[in-house]
């Protein structure tokens, strides 16, 4: 048997990390089993489905290198298949047209609630004769199509959770289509799963209540039921519902913020599955080799933003300055960062050095330039920031004057890291008295790259100007 799995998002909004995790689990399972990964766009909701969200889905998968083997397949182009299934269900008496109005249904619902009964359709229209049905059709009475649901307890086997029981008496005859050409989720999904030969349905645990309804379609059509595996929910920090406040942004928002696809993949796979030895850093190649569906956890996973930042930082540090430059030049989502690469004040070599300095403190590509913004723009700071330990303003000023005089006497050919360190280290017994005010003078920041690294990039002339500015603040 060739394993065939699918990722089936609805294009009604931007693709979030929770959804892309489902795609990832399907993708790696397919690759591990040498199977097929299918992208299906469930766009039968004409009002909410938008092309921009289809593009967002496709671009998100492409960026993360979760390329489908088949698709995208659009449900909106498969209406004829659904129509034939609906007609077959009607002909077999497995489904029926329901002509009850919204007002009638609401009245019945309120009566059931008053009696303490679960609200469900009472099957009134299932008892209509052919003549009554034809009469209503001839009058143009609006209708929906319902599936006949047996009053019994259904048991289905979940690959991860074992047997799950569901009392069908709680749901009643549910709607599967608004008309013969307007299928709803609970019909279109199992129909596509059958015709596309899906062997394993791997999706989020929130779909567990949908599974009995979709199995009923398989049973009604005498189709083989695929294997269901419901992966754990993702919760926000603290155990609550995942929200944007917890970091649940869209995939491409993370791309715009300068996150790396390898870090996103690494982070998401650990939300519900762990490799042997509990290693935290794992490549896609290793994931595919080690992944076993039976090892996926059942308990909810916690979305830890700090861990995502930590992982992204690790992957960022692994990149060379040239690789980071190429990422910025070739990614349209980072196009605004090109101004830092094309700055006329710095050579290509110096820009690469700036990137190397910036990435040490950055969580993502954008933060590289945030942490070294003093290279690109004028800055100001309070003179109190120049103070080191308990030294007075006068002592700090004298130290800066001493540094300035020393630097002025260094010829250009000796303005290098080794010589600068050699002479600056001798100025004060407390080296912090030399380097702390110098750091602040060059950056306006409390935390920054080492002052000598900065001096070598901005040059002797600008270094002296910035020291003068600090001395003037203290005068």
Q: Which pTM value belongs to this model? A: 0.91
DSSP string, 434-454: HHHHHHHHHHS-SS-S-HHHH
- Widest Cα–Cα separation across the chain: 107
33 with 3: CB under 8 angstroms? Answer: yes
* HSE toward the beta carbon, residue 185, CA cutoff 13 A: 8
The tens-digit pLDDT sequence of the chain (475 residues) is: 899 999 999 999 999 999 999 999 999 999 999 999 999 999 998 889 999 999 999 999 999 999 999 999 999 999 999 999 999 999 999 999 999 999 999 999 999 898 888 899 999 999 999 999 999 999 999 999 999 999 999 999 999 999 999 999 888 999 999 999 999 999 999 999 999 999 999 999 999 999 999 999 999 999 999 999 999 999 988 777 776 666 678 999 999 999 999 999 999 999 999 998 879 999 999 999 999 999 999 999 999 999 999 999 999 999 999 999 999 999 999 999 999 999 999 999 999 999 999 999 999 999 999 999 999 999 999 999 999 999 999 999 999 999 999 999 999 999 999 999 999 999 999 999 999 999 999 999 999 999 999 999 999 999 999 999 999 999 8
154 with 288: CB under 8 angstroms? Answer: no
Instruction: State phi, psi for 150 to the nearest 5 degrees.
Output: -70, 145
Of 470, 467, 472, 439, which is closest to residue 453 (Cα–Cα)? Answer: 439
| Rounded distance between C-alpha atoms, residue 429 and residue 427, angstroms | 7
pLDDT in the model for residue 245: 62
Chain-centre distance for alpha carbon 189: 24
Tell the residue number behind the tokens 């088949």, with chain if given.
70
Contacts of 56 (CB under 8 A, 6+ apart): 11, 14, 15, 250, 251, 252
State the CB neighbour count (10 A cutoff) for residue 400: 24
State the CB neighbour count (10 A cutoff) for residue 413: 7
| Rounded distance between C-alpha atoms, residue 324 and residue 327, angstroms | 5
Of 344, 345, 341, which is closest to residue 325 (Cα–Cα)? Answer: 341
Degrees to nearest 5, angle at CA 152 with 81 and 215: 25
What does the block give as tokens for 349? 């070599």
Give the H/E segment covering residue 269: helix 261-269
pLDDT in the model for residue 116: 86
* First CA to last CA distance, the chain: 82
pLDDT in the model for residue 382: 96
pLDDT in the model for residue 136: 95
pLDDT in the model for residue 17: 92
Q: Which residues are catalytic?
A: 244
| Rounded distance between C-alpha atoms, residue 231 and residue 196, angstroms | 22
Eight-state DSSP code of residue 153: E
Q: Are β-strands 200-204 and 95-98 bridged in parallel, bridged antiparallel, or unpaired?
A: unpaired
DSSP E strands: which ranges in 237-369?
Answer: 301-302
Of 214, 252, 247, which is closest to residue 42 (Cα–Cα)? Answer: 214
Cα four-point dihedral sign 144, 148, 154, 156 = negative
| Rounded distance between C-alpha atoms, residue 90 and residue 132, angstroms | 15
| Rounded distance between C-alpha atoms, residue 5 and residue 333, angstroms | 30
Task: Round the CA-based radius of gyration of the chain to a whole number and report it.
Answer: 32
Cα four-point dihedral sign 435, 437, 439, 445 = positive
pLDDT in the model for residue 278: 79
pLDDT in the model for residue 118: 85
| Rounded distance between C-alpha atoms, residue 126 and residue 141, angstroms | 16
pLDDT in the model for residue 293: 97
Eight-state DSSP code of residue 133: H
- Sheet-wide strand order for 36-41: 4-7, 36-41, 70-74
Tell the residue number behind the tokens 């083997």, with chain if given.
69
Eight-state DSSP code of residue 134: H
**Domains located in the chain, CATH noted:** 4-73+184-234 (3.40.50.620), 81-182 (3.90.800.10), 244-316 (1.10.1160.10), 320-372 (no CATH), 383-474 (1.10.10.350)
pLDDT in the model for residue 244: 61
pLDDT in the model for residue 247: 63
């Amino acid at each position: 048997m060739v394993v065939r799995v699918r990722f089936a998002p609805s294009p009604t909004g931007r693709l979030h990390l929770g959804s892309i995790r489902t795609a990832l689990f399907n993708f790696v399972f397919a690759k591990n089993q040498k199977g097929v990964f299918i992208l299906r766009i469930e766009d039968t909701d004409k009002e909410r489905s938008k092309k921009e969200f289809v593009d967002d889905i496709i671009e998100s998968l492409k960026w993360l290198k979760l390329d489908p083997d088949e698709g995208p397949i659009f449900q909106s182009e498969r209406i004829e298949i659904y129509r034939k299934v609906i007609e077959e269900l009607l002909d077999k008496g497995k489904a029926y047209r329901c002509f009850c109005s919204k007002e009638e249904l609401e009245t019945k619902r309120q009566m059931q609630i008053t009696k303490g009964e679960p609200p469900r359709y009472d099957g009134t229209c299932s008892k209509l004769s052919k003549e009554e049905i034809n009469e209503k059709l001839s009058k143009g009475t609006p209708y929906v199509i319902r599936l006949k649901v047996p009053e019994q307890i259904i048991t289905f086997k979940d690959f991860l959770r074992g047997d799950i029981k569901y009392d069908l008496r709680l749901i009643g005859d549910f709607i599967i289509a608004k008309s013969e050409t307007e299928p709803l989720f609970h019909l279109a999904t199992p129909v596509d799963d059958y015709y596309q030969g899906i062997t394993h349905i791997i999706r989020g645990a929130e779909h567990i209540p949908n599974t009995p309804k979709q199995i009923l379609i398989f049973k009604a059509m005498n189709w083989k039921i695929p294997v269901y595996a419901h992966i754990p929910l993702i919760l926000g920090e603290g155990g609550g519902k995942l929200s944007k406040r917890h970091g649940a942004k869209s995939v491409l928002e993370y791309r715009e913020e300068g996150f790396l696809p390898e870090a996103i993949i690494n982070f998401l796979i650990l939300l519900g599955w762990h490799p042997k030895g509990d290693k935290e850093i794992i490549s896609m190649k290793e994931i595919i080799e080690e992944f076993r569906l039976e090892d996926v956890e059942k308990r909810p996973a916690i979305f830890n933003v700090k861990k995502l930042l930590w992982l992204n930082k690790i992957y960022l540090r692994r990149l060379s300055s040239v690789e980071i430059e190429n990422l910025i030049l070739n990614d349209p989502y980072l196009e605004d960062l090109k101004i830092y690469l094309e700055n006329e004040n710095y050579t290509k070599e110096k820009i690469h050095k700036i990137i190397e300095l910036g990435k040490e403190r950055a969580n993502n590509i954008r933060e590289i330039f945030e942490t070294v913004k003093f290279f690109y723009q004028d800055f100001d700071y309070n003179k109190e920031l120049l103070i080191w330990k308990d030294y007075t303003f006068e002592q700090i000023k004298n130290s800066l004057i001493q540094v300035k005089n020393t630097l002025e006497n260094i010829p250009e050919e000796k303005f290098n890291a080794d010589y600068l360190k050699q002479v600056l280290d001798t100025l004060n017994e407390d080296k912090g008295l030399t380097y702390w005010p110098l750091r602040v003078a060059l950056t306006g920041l409390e935390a920054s790259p080492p002052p000598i690294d900065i001096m070598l990039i901005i040059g002797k002339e600008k270094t002296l100007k910035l020291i003068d500015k600090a001395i003037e603040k203290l005068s």
